[in-house]
Structure 1
């Protein structure tokens, strides 16, 4: 199927229940060449974000697993056929073995691609460092994604980005039924409206050009904070898994 038709097949209306950026702005085209759009079927056609961490692997959220999984790299406007886009099927989805779909704990997954991505100006991995340093409350990090720009608004066709502030773990412990400071990061100032929302599940939290988190969940009304899987905790599993496959 041509890339444009594939994209249009998977584009979702605002009410479809995907996580997206609120309070952000359009990113400079292809300035985030590590960004991936993950398309899949789970009862209905859905999409998530992701990050290319190696030519053959994309890191995303475990709850983004489904059938007919495809990754699109090098995209800015997902409603147009861009020469920069690479559409690659997923060979194997590898969720963390301790992922719990009921609580969304350990909500992280590697996608092995059928063919390795061709590295271009618009497609570049955000490689994992040997030791990912910890983030601290007050640190400002970037998240990018495609989708709704307000809880009741329409989905954006062009990549949006937003700068979010890491929060004290108590903010998430009071906002969510289950939260672990060991495996998760609390992100987004409750005093403003900037946040990830429905469609950005799986999108990376990037701090000083390092992948620190993978967006897992937020509140139904889109009010921050949100919860990200802590990449530093999962780094041994990520590296071991990529080496094995």
Structure 2
């Protein structure tokens, strides 16, 4: 098993461990993680409906043994009625996997991706009931706006872009004012205060 050091992380501000609400976080790593066969993952607001998805992880196997190699299994997408048999289903959560028996994500798989069509990520392993094999998955589509917003925050505030982007309003000036700058090239206009602060700079 190879390890990559984490650089920064953001946990959902309304995460509730006891109620399993908003069970999602983002992180950045010190270096790129090689994905081998899968070169990229797609997140969609409205992914296609399928019968089976695909989940992988380093969690315990069916014999409750910790794994050092990445394992995977198919996960049957369940209806809302079946999912409700797990008890209270938090907003932004769906379920998949067999109702009973083996073939579901296990302890240690939390945060693992649920994939359809080989490249579209629709869920994250969240929790599992002891009495059933059904697994509750954080719905990626439900949190897509949060993911987009905080991905930018993670990359810009904590990552590569160290300088904060600044902005200001710029008043559009008339031709007479613009000509006071001197020669005005064809197809050019001007904006900003005539004097003082509040204009674009070098």
Same fold (TM over 0.5): yes
| Alignment partner of 1:185 is 2:185 | no
Matches of 2:48 and 2:86, distance apart in 1: 20
Cα 1:203–1:121 change in 2 (3 A) is closer
Say whether 1:141 aligns with 2:53: yes
- Considering only aligned residues, what root-mean-square deviation do their CA atoms show, in Å? 2.3
Whole-Å separation in 1 of the counterparts to 2:82 and 2:115: 20
Say if 1:148 and 1:110 are closer, same or farther in 2 by CA, change over 3 A: same
State the match for 1:116 in structure 2.
Answer: 31
Which protein is bigger by CA-based radius of gyration? 2
Deviation of the 1:124 alpha carbon: 5.7
Q: For the residues of structure 1 that align with 2:84 and 2:110, how far apart are their CA atoms? A: 20
Alignment coverage as a number of residue pairs: 153
**TM-score for the superposition, normalised by structure 1:** 0.56
Aligned with 2:81 (options 145, 165, 170): 170
Ranges in structure 1 where 5+ consecutive residues have no aligned partner: 1-77, 79-84
Alignment CA distance shift 1:157-1:244 (3 Å) = closer
TM-score after normalising by structure 2: 0.67
Work out the CA distance in 2 between the residues paired with 1:220 and 1:191. 10
Structure 1 121/106 Cα, relative in aligned 2: closer, same or farther at 3 Å? closer
Q: Which structure shows the higher strand fraction?
A: 1
Q: How does 1:56-205 map to 2 (within 5 A)?
A: 78=1, 85=2, 87-113=3-29, 115-117=30-32, 120=34, 122=36, 126-129=40-43, 131-134=44-47, 136=49, 139-150=51-62, 152-176=63-87, 178-180=88-90, 182-205=91-114
Residue 135 of structure 1, CA deviation: 5.6
Query: Which residue is equivalent to 2:120?
Result: 210
Structure 2: segments with no counterpart, 5+ residues: 155-202
